[in-house]
Amino acid sequence: MTPLPSLRQLRYLVELAERLNFRAAAEACFVTQSTLSAGLKELESALGVQLVERSTRTVRLTAAGEEIVRRARALIAEAEDLVSAARSQREPMSGRMRLGVIPTIAPFVLPRILPTLRKRYPKLRLHLREDLTDRLLERLRAGTLDFALIALPYDTGDLTLRPLFKDEFWFVALADDAMAKSKAVRVESLDVRDIVLLEEGHCLREHALEACGRQDRRPESAVEATSLPTLLQMVEGGLGVTLLPEIALKAGILNGTQLVARPFSRGTPSRTLALAARPTSGRVAELDVLAGVIEQCAAPKVPAPHRAVQGAKQRGRG
């Protein structure tokens, strides 16, 4: 019978591929460096191919090693899904749940849902990771995340999606901006050259460009921010205007600034918050449970046409 590699050996290889350092990989696997090295040599012997190039200064994967790592990630994810499926059958919403959230959602939704999750599911241990959409989906496919809370539209391939709710964009500018003096802004009047955007990699950037009818890349000289707080500082400094999602406004992101927010008069641009999961995940049954908590605690409660206009004078959390 052909000897098969163990999941432990495959995990050793994956951790080494991510860190390219034997000591760091061993620490990540909670084993000694000699144990990890021996396990990798056993794996190479079982497969009959060299996977790692070793020298006194560098560690790199061979071409065969890179291919085995790709397949190993999928096998480990399948094995973890198997364990999760068994656990969720015994007791749903318990044990470790790894949730990834994008930066333009995390600070506005997590504070609303975490207290409810802790109260309803005391045996649930939620592990959170904030990152950009593409990196979260990569981790989701690799099995190091169970779910990802993202914003659509976004190409998610074959992942399972559970749309949650629509999050409308508002126009944000200094109070003395000509467009901000209106009670509502016409989306057609937006000039993409005046809009301060997040840097490439943030899906909020693409959503804002799409709202302006532009999906091409901005000129290199355009003003871009690395985070929402920096973006607001740029707008408050007179560098332009921007678009912000409603969940950020309801969380009071404009409090203490000289900025105001105005709704759009028609054709309101928006994004849709959604949960993503692997279709093979053993926790797919819990997708609806988690989605229900998010919808209950974070979704807008009042229809858009009747919401009050946000402004710099507003105080407190929405």
pLDDT, tens only, 245-290: 999 999 999 999 999 999 988 878 899 999 999 988 878 879 999 9
Whether 196 shows a pLDDT value over 80: the answer reads: yes
pLDDT recorded at residue 219? 46
Whether 314 shows a pLDDT value over 50: the answer reads: no
User: Are 130 and 109 contained in the same domain?
Assistant: yes
181 assigned to some structural domain: yes
263 assigned to some structural domain: yes
- Largest Cα–Cα separation, the chain: 78
Please check whether residue 27 is in contact with residue 79, taking contact to mean a CB–CB distance below 8 angstroms.
no
User: Are 249 and 173 contained in the same domain?
Assistant: yes
pLDDT recorded at residue 304? 46
User: Are 280 and 160 contained in the same domain?
Assistant: yes
**Averaged pLDDT, 105-129:** 95
Whether 87 shows a pLDDT value over 80: the answer reads: no
- CATH number of the domain to which 158 belongs: 3.40.190.10
User: Are 152 and 184 contained in the same domain?
Assistant: no
User: Are 216 and 262 contained in the same domain?
Assistant: yes
Whether 220 shows a pLDDT value over 80: the answer reads: no
The per-residue pLDDT for range 20-77, each reduced to its tens digit, is: 999 999 999 999 999 999 999 999 999 999 999 988 788 999 999 999 999 998 888 8
pLDDT recorded at residue 37? 94
What is the band of 136 on the pLDDT scale with cuts at 50, 70, 90? Answer: very high
What is the band of 312 on the pLDDT scale with cuts at 50, 70, 90? Answer: very low
Whether 180 shows a pLDDT value over 50: the answer reads: yes
Q: Residue 268: count other Cβ atoms within 10 Å of its Cβ.
A: 18
CA 117, chain centre distance (Å): 19
User: Are 105 and 40 contained in the same domain?
Assistant: no
Please check whether residue 162 is in contact with residue 291, taking contact to mean a CB–CB distance below 8 angstroms.
yes
Please check whether residue 21 is in contact with residue 59, taking contact to mean a CB–CB distance below 8 angstroms.
yes
Whether 145 shows a pLDDT value over 80: the answer reads: yes
pLDDT recorded at residue 88? 61
15 assigned to some structural domain: yes
> Number of folded domains in the chain?
3
User: Are 191 and 222 contained in the same domain?
Assistant: yes
* Beta-bridge partner residues of 60: 53
This prediction's pTM:
0.70
What is the band of 305 on the pLDDT scale with cuts at 50, 70, 90? Answer: very low
- CATH number of the domain to which 40 belongs: 1.10.10.10
* Beta-bridge partner residues of 244: 170
User: Are 150 and 291 contained in the same domain?
Assistant: yes
Q: Rounded mean pLDDT of the chain?
A: 85
307 assigned to some structural domain: no
316 assigned to some structural domain: no
238 assigned to some structural domain: yes
Domain residues for 223?
169-269
User: Are 201 and 244 contained in the same domain?
Assistant: yes
The per-residue pLDDT for range 224-236, each reduced to its tens digit, is: 888 888 999 999 9
Whether 306 shows a pLDDT value over 50: the answer reads: no
131 assigned to some structural domain: yes
Percent of the chain with pLDDT over 70: 88
User: Are 204 and 281 contained in the same domain?
Assistant: no
pLDDT recorded at residue 138? 93
CA 52 – CA 60 distance, rounded (Å): 6
CA 256 – CA 258 distance, rounded (Å): 7
Please check whether residue 136 is in contact with residue 129, taking contact to mean a CB–CB distance below 8 angstroms.
yes
User: Are 105 and 181 contained in the same domain?
Assistant: no
**Averaged pLDDT, 100-119:** 95
Whether 165 shows a pLDDT value over 80: the answer reads: yes
CA 144 – CA 74 distance, rounded (Å): 11
User: Are 116 and 37 contained in the same domain?
Assistant: no
Q: What is the dihedral of CA 17, 19, 21, 23, to 10 degrees?
A: -110
